[in-house]
Amino acid sequence: MALSNTHTRYGSITRLFHWLTALLVITLIPVALIANELPFDTSEQLARKAWFFSLHKTLGVSVFFVALARIAWALSQPKPAPLHPDQKAETFMAETAHWLLYGSLVLAPMSGWLHHAATTGFAPIWWPLGQGLPFVPKSESVAALFGGAHWVFGKVMAVTIALHVLGAIKHQVIDRDATLRRMLNGAPELDTLPRARHSATPLLAALAIWAITLGAGTAFGLYMPHTSTAEAAQLEDVTSDWSVQDGSITIAVTQFGSVVEGNFADWTADISFDPTVTGGPSGNVDVVISAGSLSLGSVTDQALGPDFFDAGNFTTATYRADLITGVDGFLAKGTLDIKGHTVALDMPFRLSVTGDTANMQAEYTLDRRDFGIGDNMADESSLAFNVKVSVKLTATRAPTE
């Protein structure tokens, strides 16, 4: 059996690429559908859902490299002539479908891989290539762009595959020609076929279809960052001795061995502090955090749901503490209330004061179980118990009257 193509038949390598690609694609599409429908209410369910997503992503990366190899091989080979060159409309549609398939087999997995690299979330790719990609930042807007593109390219690929299969069935059942046999086990040499003459028109048609579908994605907002369905509590402004000018409250959780970072966008701090105190009580702080303002990558909705922060019923978290100046540094000694659970929390912090401006930083680790967060995740195989919290702020002292 010849390895290479001729002007009338496909070689064994081309056929191998065709059926390997088909096997991968007809596996990863239902895997994705199953993964999207699976629940994630318990550790076991989340682990199962993540396994299916990891399988889908891993197969997708495989498709990407197989498609590149397939295209490289196709470019080095003669393309067998169509069996019915006189049927120009059918030949045009077939070649357009082939361009759509080749392009989608690269663009769909590539956009999915870029979406994964830009996303802070779960379900790792199993290939030992790392979870990130060079020059691709962890960004919700970048992830949304490629996530939307992946959806569009995936739908174009699915529709084109369906049409491709219908065309093959038509050739086999109605035309009763050798089209399908050429891709199954080869076909006898058909010396009477004229050599194929290919134009750029089918490629231009495929490009037009991609442009239209991508444009439709823009119209439907497919490339916009996901917004949580939870409503964030609107916090009232506070009048404080020290006014926060800039700052952040970030958290880092570990899910399936990967760190997922996020932050609370809305919080207030009522700070009273005397920098002239050299030892002992020097002030107090009252921090209110809007729970619904949390952004935690692809797992934001899950984090705000009833099994975690339950932002619909517990709209705010609070930290109230006395500030103590010590010989070796500073300490906030108080209580943290999350989801109706109040826990004593002593937080050492670093502080530098220059004139009327203070810069503060603190890092500490919480146990999510102390606050009833993720009780349905009873072990650390899917979600670690420890949550790292980092606080940074710059505040200026209010002028004295």
Instruction: Please state, in angstroms and rounded to a whole number, the distance separating the CA atoms of residues 212 and 208.
Output: 6
Is residue 80 predicted with pLDDT exceeding 90? no
Is residue 266 predicted with pLDDT exceeding 70? yes
Is residue 41 predicted with pLDDT exceeding 80? no
Burial 147-162 (b: 16+ CB within 10 A, else e): bbbbbbbbebbeebbe
Is residue 383 predicted with pLDDT exceeding 70? yes
The pTM assigned to this predicted structure is: 0.81
Helix, strand, coil proportions of the chain in percent (round to 5)?
40, 25, 35
Q: What is the mean pLDDT of residues 48-55?
A: 93
Q: Best-predicted range by mean pLDDT among 166-170, 231-235, 256-260?
A: 166-170
Is residue 200 predicted with pLDDT exceeding 60? yes
Q: What is the mean pLDDT of residues 193-198?
A: 66
DSSP 79-102: PPPPS-TT-HHHHHHHHHHHHHHH
Is residue 185 predicted with pLDDT exceeding 80? no
Is residue 278 predicted with pLDDT exceeding 70? yes
Segment (H or E) for 249: strand 242-255
Residue 186: the pLDDT is 67
Q: Count Cβ atoms below 10 Å from residue 108 Cβ, excluding itself.
A: 26
Q: What is the mean pLDDT of residues 250-255?
A: 92
Instruction: Please state, in angstroms and rounded to a whole number, the distance separating the CA atoms of residues 7 and 79.
Output: 6
In terms of DSSP bridges, do strands 341-354 and 357-367 run parallel, antiparallel, or are they unpaired? antiparallel
Higher-pLDDT residue of 20 and 120 is: 20
Query: Do 117 and 123 touch, CB atoms closer than 8 A?
Result: no
Residue 139: the pLDDT is 87
The pLDDT confidence band at residue 177, using thresholds 50, 70 and 90, is confident
Of 371, 362, 359, nearest in space to 395 by CA: 359
Is residue 192 predicted with pLDDT exceeding 70? no
Of 147, 163, 151, 145, nearest in space to 100 by CA: 163
Is residue 168 predicted with pLDDT exceeding 70? yes
* Mean pLDDT for the chain overall: 90
Of 249, 383, 246, nearest in space to 308 by CA: 383
Angle of the 140-170 helix axis to the 201-219 helix axis, nearest 10? 130
Higher-pLDDT residue of 117 and 376 is: 117
Dihedral (CA of 374, 380, 383, 386) sign: positive
Q: Give the Å distances, CA to CA, from 236 to 189, 287, 292, 322.
A: 81, 12, 15, 22
- Three-state SS string over 327-387 comes to CCCEEEEEEEEECCEEEEEEEEEEEEEECCEEEEEEEEEEEHHHHCCCCCCCCCCCECCEE
Which residues pair with residue 264 across a beta bridge?
Answer: 249, 294
Dihedral (CA of 266, 270, 275, 277) sign: negative
Q: What is the mean pLDDT of residues 272-292?
A: 94
Residue 194: the pLDDT is 66
Express as a percent the part of the chain with pLDDT over 70. 95
Is residue 198 predicted with pLDDT exceeding 80? no
What are the tens digits of pLDDT across the range 385-401?
Answer: 999 999 999 999 987 65
Residue 247: the pLDDT is 95
Domains, the chain, with CATH or none? 12-219 (1.20.950), 242-397 (2.40.128.110)
What are the tens digits of pLDDT across the range 230-246?
Answer: 667 788 888 889 999 99
In terms of DSSP bridges, do strands 294-295 and 280-290 run parallel, antiparallel, or are they unpaired? unpaired
Q: What is the mean pLDDT of residues 343-370?
A: 95
Instruction: Please state, in angstroms and rounded to a whole number, the distance separating the CA atoms of residues 134 and 386.
Output: 29
Lowest mean pLDDT among 51-55, 84-88, 354-358: 84-88
Is residue 250 predicted with pLDDT exceeding 90? yes
Question: Count of H helices and E strands in the chain?
Answer: 7, 10
The pLDDT confidence band at residue 228, using thresholds 50, 70 and 90, is low
Of 20, 256, 221, 264, nearest in space to 123 by CA: 256
The pLDDT confidence band at residue 191, using thresholds 50, 70 and 90, is low
Instruction: Please state, in angstroms and rounded to a whole number, the distance separating the CA atoms of residues 207 and 173.
Output: 31
What are the tens digits of pLDDT across the range 111-149?
Answer: 999 999 998 777 889 998 888 899 999 888 999 999 999
Is residue 295 predicted with pLDDT exceeding 70? yes
In terms of DSSP bridges, do strands 330-338 and 316-325 run parallel, antiparallel, or are they unpaired? antiparallel
